Chains A and B, each alone.
Chain A
Amino acid sequence: MTDRTNGIPDDPKAARSDGPTTEDRLNEPPAASQVADLRLEAQRELGDLAGNWSARVEAFDVTDAGGVAGEQRSLIRDAARRFSRNKTAMAGLILLTAYVLLAIFVPMFGDIRQATQIDYTQKELKPSWDHLFGTDPQGKDLWLRAWIGARISLSIAFVVSIVILAVGVTYGSLSGYVGGRVDNTMMRFLDALYGLPYLPFAIITVTVMKEKFPDAEPIVYMVPALSITAWFTSARIMRGQMLSLKSNDYVESALAAGASAGRVVTRHVLPNTIGVMVVVIFLEIPNAILGEAFLSFLGLGVQPPDASWGVLAENGYTYIDAQPHLIWVPALLIASTVLAAIAIADGMRDALDPRGQVH
């Protein structure tokens, strides 16, 4: 496959996301591939699960989406139409929207005291109209707690994804735009960072942040912890975008007209990657949701009295024998959010690059 580490894809086929065929493989100069590239190639072909998708996105051939404003708008409209025809993706979008709305409005209109105050007269109630999900052993209403938790879990997930994207855009654009030696070094450095294990570094970071900001909201210490070793893929994707876009005529004409490199990148190249950026955000949401749940479950992330889906799951674990449904509520919320985000990312990727649909 064409060497993306060192230059611009010279063979347009190599940048397509439906994966190289045998013919492609034969046509390509065999010398080029790095293992990392091969890995990306493989992930691109196969990306069906969260971790594997991102690389597929990297290979978007957006070259023909470039430049002209009117054309750009209609491309977005086309993508939106294709997306709305994708049933799985639409189901995911509807579900996630519903969760966000419930997270906003249920705690707003509910009686918050039912979720925060201990009331043993109401303990361990079965689900009913008054308590849709029943109550826990302290008499707290689980329906309310689930959506209060959703506020924390979902906002952490969205902010983490945006932070990951921002870091990835900065690092990736710099590396991809400058190119040459700088690019090579920055990518080697990124390869190095891939060796860092996610959970240990997340745990250490969350502990450091909690020490520095003892009274802060959970989001303050969770976001750095969940982003610190999570932005590498996003940086790779954005670098790939930069590489494939910077060779476009409109970039060269902007430069020839005297625009600065910074302006070219921010005004001409990055706007053309918006679709990919949105895909990156939805790809990172599952990791962030699961990361939050893991940390909080271990007692190192969000902690009671703050509620998050991870905290609720930990609570469910404690009372598993008496009230097994306590763990099912956060478990199903987490699982459905993960699947919804993946379905959206997948649908959006297909909508933006219809040729990329394989199976």
Chain B
Amino acid sequence: MVTYILRRLFWSIPVLLLATLLAFVLVKAMPYEPFNDPKLAPSVRQNLRELYGLDKSGAAQYADFLTDFVQGDFGLSTKPGNRPVREIITDTLPATMVLGGLSFFFSAMIGITLGVISALRHNGIIDYAITFFATAAFALPSFVVATLWVSGKVYLPPPIGVIQFEFPYGWDSWWDRVGPIAVLGLAIMPYFTRLVRASMLEALEQEYVTTARAKGLPWRRTVFRHALRNSMIPTVTNAGPLFAFVLTGSFIIERIMIVPGVADQFIESFGQPIDSRMVLATTVLLSALIIVLNLVVDLIVAWLDPRVAND
């Protein structure tokens, strides 16, 4: 187990390096020349380029970037004000983490519950209703749900028609935060529901369930102690890709629902001129975040199912 953990930790180093390299090469290839303003005197431009280290070779710039990055120096933003990128990120990352974390947590709770209910009522009305709901929530892109939420329109069958509501959104108070968290959670929830439903159905057919029942274990205890616990492994195993999915969703939701998060800042950086330091730092940090979360998931899986680690 210890060897396994160490090996996984070891492997995440080249992964992170690779992410930084790819991000760096791509960002270098971007239309990025912040000091090309013809109004600047050539000498001033030269000084600025030296200040930002742009006069060096690509490899040297990458080395500079890595050294600075591991020391927590992400460079200066090229936006008006030239704030340190690190400051922008520490200001905005918490909102993204809270949004992602809470919506992940609530969608897991609700999604797993619905999945279990669906599996226990297999092919019943409730099962169909939950499956329909999950499919609709999966197929409707999150920007549509977010837009409708913000517009506050609720569609009811005639003769009632469209009713106008004021749904909370924004990030100022915890009440406002309910909106973004609910909409992002709604986008993630179907994954849990479908996963848990399928693995529960699978688990309920297994022999250990029959055995447990035959030995006189109450149904409730069989379901929760045996079937549910075993069907949690595939659910956790699949949580890795979900983090990336949550991140993708937060780009849209921060934008539409006015959350001052790092994903929104990232998109802001693509104005003219492109704030390449910000883009680079954010991309690397988000990659690191996903890699670390995947690592955590792998370790949890190894803990749940020790066969994984005994390689």
Question: Which residues of A does B touch, CB under 8 Å?
Answer: 19, 21-22, 30-35, 38-39, 41-43, 45-46, 48-49, 51-52, 188, 191-201, 203-205, 207-208, 211-212, 290, 293-294, 297-298, 300, 313, 316-317, 320-321, 324, 327, 331, 334-336, 338-339, 358-359
A34 touches B308 (CB 8 A): yes
Say yes or no: is B143 at the interface (Cβ < 8 Å to chain A). Answer: yes
A45 touches B208 (CB 8 A): no
A33 touches B248 (CB 8 A): no
**Chain A residue nearest in CB terms to B146:** A317
Q: Which residues of B from 247 to 306 have beta carbons under 8 Å from A?
A: 247-248, 251-252, 255-256, 266-267, 270, 274, 279, 282-283, 286-287, 290-291, 294, 298, 301-302, 305
A22 touches B290 (CB 8 A): no
Residues of B within 8 A of A313 (CB): 141, 143-144
The contact of A51 among B15, B245, B255, B270, by CB within 8 Å, is B245
A200 touches B294 (CB 8 A): no
B143 touches A207 (CB 8 A): no
For this complex, 19 residue pairs linking A to B, each with C-beta atoms less than 8 Å apart, are A49-B190, A51-B191, A191-B15, A192-B15, A192-B18, A195-B287, A195-B290, A196-B22, A197-B286, A200-B23, A201-B22, A212-B29, A298-B251, A313-B141, A313-B144, A317-B256, A324-B151, A327-B147, A359-B202
Residues of B within 8 A of A197 (CB): 244, 247-248, 283, 286-287, 290
A46 CA to B194 CA, complexed, in Å: 8
Q: Least Cβ distance of A50 to chain B in Å? A: 8
B283 touches A200 (CB 8 A): yes
A33 touches B251 (CB 8 A): no
8 A-B pairs closest in CB distance: A42-B234, A335-B139, A211-B31, A195-B291, A192-B15, A331-B144, A46-B198, A320-B151
Most chain B C-beta atoms within 10 Å of own C-beta, residue among A192, A211, A293: A192
**Chain A residue nearest in CB terms to B12:** A195
Q: Least Cβ distance of B5 to chain A in Å? A: 12
Chain B, interface residues (CB within 8 Å), range: 35 or more
- Per-position binary interface string of chain B over residues 142-178, scored 1 when its CB falls under 8 Å from any chain A CB and 0 otherwise: 0110011011010000000010000000000000000
B15 touches A195 (CB 8 A): yes
The contact of B199 among A46, A294, A300, A317, by CB within 8 Å, is A46
B138 touches A49 (CB 8 A): yes
A294 touches B256 (CB 8 A): no
Q: Which residues of B from 45 to 83 have beta carbons under 8 Å from A?
A: none
A294 CA to B249 CA, complexed, in Å: 9
B283 touches A46 (CB 8 A): no
Say yes or no: is B240 at the interface (Cβ < 8 Å to chain A). Answer: yes
Say yes or no: is B110 at the interface (Cβ < 8 Å to chain A). Answer: no
A123 CA to B11 CA, complexed, in Å: 59
A204 touches B141 (CB 8 A): no
Given contacts A35-B302, A300-B267, contact A52 B19 (CB under 8 A): no
**Chain B residue nearest in CB terms to A330:** B144
**Chain A residue nearest in CB terms to B138:** A49
Residues of A within 8 A of B124 (CB): none
Residues of A within 8 A of B92 (CB): none
Residues of B within 8 A of A191 (CB): 11, 15
Residues of B within 8 A of A48 (CB): 194-195, 197-198
Say yes or no: is B2 at the interface (Cβ < 8 Å to chain A). Answer: no
Residues of B within 8 A of A192 (CB): 11, 14-15, 18
Most chain A C-beta atoms within 10 Å of own C-beta, residue among B162, B244, B255, B310: B244
Given contacts A34-B308, A42-B234, contact A297 B143 (CB under 8 A): yes
Residues of A within 8 A of B220 (CB): none
**Chain B residue nearest in CB terms to A194:** B294
**Chain A residue nearest in CB terms to B233:** A42
A298 CA to B266 CA, complexed, in Å: 11
The contact of A200 among B139, B198, B266, by CB within 8 Å, is B266
Most chain B C-beta atoms within 10 Å of own C-beta, residue among A33, A48, A212, A359: A48
B202 touches A207 (CB 8 A): no
B30 touches A46 (CB 8 A): no
B307 touches A30 (CB 8 A): yes
Most chain A C-beta atoms within 10 Å of own C-beta, residue among B18, B151, B248: B248
Q: Which residues of B from 3 to 43 have beta carbons under 8 Å from A?
A: 8, 11-12, 14-16, 18-19, 22-23, 26-27, 29-31
